[in-house]
């Protein structure tokens, strides 16, 4: 539920950034379409990983491994959610439906199988994970260009420190299922350095709109400053993980990363409507 709502939040933020006049019907369709989209991805994921989920403390109480739901019932739910998500997004426009379908496919057929084979699974998972923010803009404009591309890049680079932090503090649990989540396969300096590097990339991309070469996606100097400070805040915890290399530091980075992406999206949206009110 929390993951689904965060995806919906990202989609709605992207929509508000791209739209000229808010259409609450489209906003509602996007919310439900996005919710079903991520629900379908998660349902298929839990079907595929039902045996592995039973090995990990964080997932052993999910409906299928806990025996509260059969695989056939889960498959019906996943199929219905897929159809509902794509149909609802299609009523907005074809491109939104296409990106929604791509997201489900990549999460289910690429990211999920790769998790037990290579740490590159995180790269594959970062693509569908970054689509929602971009999806909102496409829903608003029926167009893919530099603006949704920038939103995609921001959430794409953010995925790495976020998921590596999770992979770090859940390392032992993931190990039980044979999941490769950390870039070096270990809780070491190499993983911590890469976490810092991707945090820096996230910070850089987040302030690009202030330079006004990202089309209609723009930021005022004040808002860019706020976004930059938020980026430094996350970078501080990424550096802290490098320095102390503890589970506690990884958990702190994960929590800060969630707050970071939420606050950045809020700042982007507020900045847009403030600028509009001044024009």
Q: Are residues 83 and 175 in the same domain?
A: no
Q: Are residues 133 and 3 in the same domain?
A: yes
Q: Are residues 135 and 154 in the same domain?
A: no
Q: Are residues 187 and 61 in the same domain?
A: no
Mean pLDDT for the chain?
92
Q: Are residues 167 and 219 in the same domain?
A: yes
Final residue before a domain boundary, out of 144, 169, 195: 144
pLDDT at 71: 94
Residue 279 pLDDT exceeds 60: no
Q: Are residues 126 and 164 in the same domain?
A: no
Q: How many whole angstroms separate alpha carbon 119 and alpha carbon 191? A: 11
Q: Are 135 and 35 in contact (CB under 8 A)?
A: no
Q: How many whole angstroms separate alpha carbon 170 and alpha carbon 115? A: 14
Percent of the chain at pLDDT exceeding 90: 73
Segment 165-192, tens digit of pLDDT? 999 999 988 888 888 889 998 999 999 9
Segment 47-87, tens digit of pLDDT? 999 999 888 888 888 999 988 999 999 999 999 999 999 99
Q: Are residues 162 and 117 in the same domain?
A: no
What's the mean pLDDT in 18-28?
89
Q: Are residues 105 and 158 in the same domain?
A: no
Q: Give the range of the structural domain holding residue 155, as residue numbers without chain letter.
A: 150-279
Residue of higher predicted confidence among 223 and 178: 223
Here the tokens at position 4 are: 């689904």
Q: Are residues 97 and 125 in the same domain?
A: yes
Segment 204-215, tens digit of pLDDT? 999 999 998 899
Final residue before a domain boundary, out of 144, 172, 202: 144
Q: How many whole angstroms separate alpha carbon 114 and alpha carbon 179? A: 9
pLDDT at 3: 76
Q: Are residues 258 and 243 in the same domain?
A: yes
| Total count of domains within the chain | 2
Instruction: Report which of 68, 57, 6 is spatially closest to residue 31, judged by C-alpha positions.
Output: 6
Q: Are 194 and 183 in contact (CB under 8 A)?
A: yes
Final residue before a domain boundary, out of 110, 144, 178: 144
Q: Are residues 169 and 262 in the same domain?
A: yes
Q: How many whole angstroms separate alpha carbon 234 and alpha carbon 253? A: 7
Q: Are residues 130 and 176 in the same domain?
A: no
What's the mean pLDDT in 107-134?
90
Helix, strand or coil, per DSSP, at residue 245: coil
CATH number of residue 70's parent domain:
1.10.357.140
pTM of the model as a whole: 0.91
């Amino acid at each position: 539920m929390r993951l689904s709502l965060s995806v919906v939040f990202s989609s709605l933020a992207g929509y508000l950034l791209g739209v000229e006049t808010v259409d609450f019907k489209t906003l509602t369709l996007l919310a439900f379409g996005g919710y079903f989209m991520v629900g379908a991805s998660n349902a298929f994921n839990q079907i595929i990983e039902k045996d592995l989920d039973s090995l990990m403390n964080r997932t052993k109480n999910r409906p299928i491994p806990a025996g509260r739901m059969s695989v056939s019932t889960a498959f019906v739910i996943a199929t219905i959610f897929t159809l509902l998500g794509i149909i609802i997004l299609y009523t907005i426009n074809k491109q939104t439906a296409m990106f929604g379908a791509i997201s489900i496919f990549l999460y289910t057929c690429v990211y999920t199988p790769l998790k037990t084979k290579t740490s590159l699974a995180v790269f594959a998972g970062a693509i569908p994970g970054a689509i929602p923010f971009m999806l909102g803009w496409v829903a608003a404009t029926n167009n893919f260009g530099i603006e949704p591309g920038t939103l995609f890049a921001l959430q794409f680079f953010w995925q790495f420190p976020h998921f590596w932090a999770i992979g770090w503090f859940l390392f032992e649990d993931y190990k039980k299922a044979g999941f490769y989540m950390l870039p070096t396969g270990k809780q070491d300096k190499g993983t911590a350095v890469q976490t810092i590097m991707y945090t820096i990339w996230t910070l850089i991309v987040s302030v690009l709109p202030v330079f006004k070469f990202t089309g209609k996606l723009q930021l005022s100097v004040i808002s860019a400053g706020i976004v930059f400070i938020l980026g430094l805040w996350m970078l501080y915890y990424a550096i802290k993980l490098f320095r102390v290399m503890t589970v506690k530091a990884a958990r702190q980075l994960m929590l800060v990363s969630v707050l970071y992406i939420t606050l950045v999206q809020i700042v982007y949206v507020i900045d847009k409507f403030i600028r509009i009110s001044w024009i």
